Amino acid sequence: MTAAVKTVIYPVTDLREAKALYSGLLGGIQPVMDQAYYVQFNVDGTEIGLDPHGHSKGMTGPVSYWQVGDIKQTISDLLATGAKEQQAVTDFGGRLVASVRDADGNVIGLIQPA
């Protein structure tokens, strides 16, 4: 069952520069996670992520991630209705993430909380 869009991840090439820019955009808040592989800000219940490896994963812009209860079943349902796999299910810090593309090439991100 889909709860809501809870996470938006931006692919970035310069993590240090992007972290400063988004911190400024978000009123100077500091990241709750600040690692070389990912930076995350929490803003009013929404996670804003910066992924320095996003472009190599096929991200061409920001991706919204829908929070789901069963990511494998959701992917199966989406593939059955014509979606194409973009990123296979991956464990990312205890949460499962994946993405598919719709018929128009739009990326649909999925995330299953731990």
Taken in order of first residue, the domains within the chain and their CATH numbers are 2-112 (3.10.180.10)
For the entire predicted model, the pTM comes to: 0.86
**Residue 43: how many CA atoms within 13 Å on its side-chain side?**
17
Q: Determine the Cα–Cα distance for residues 49 and 97; give it in Å rounded to an integer.
A: 13
pLDDT of residue 84: 96
Q: What are the tokens at 24?
A: 């400024």
pLDDT of residue 36: 96
pLDDT digits (tens, 9 = 90+) for 41-92: 999 999 999 999 999 988 889 999 999 999 999 999 999 999 999 999 999 8
Strand partners, 100: 85, 108
Instruction: Answer for the pair 73, 50: CB distance below 8 angstroms, yes or no.
Output: no
Instruction: Look at residues 112, 1, 8 and name the one whose alpha carbon lies nearest to residue 63.
Output: 8
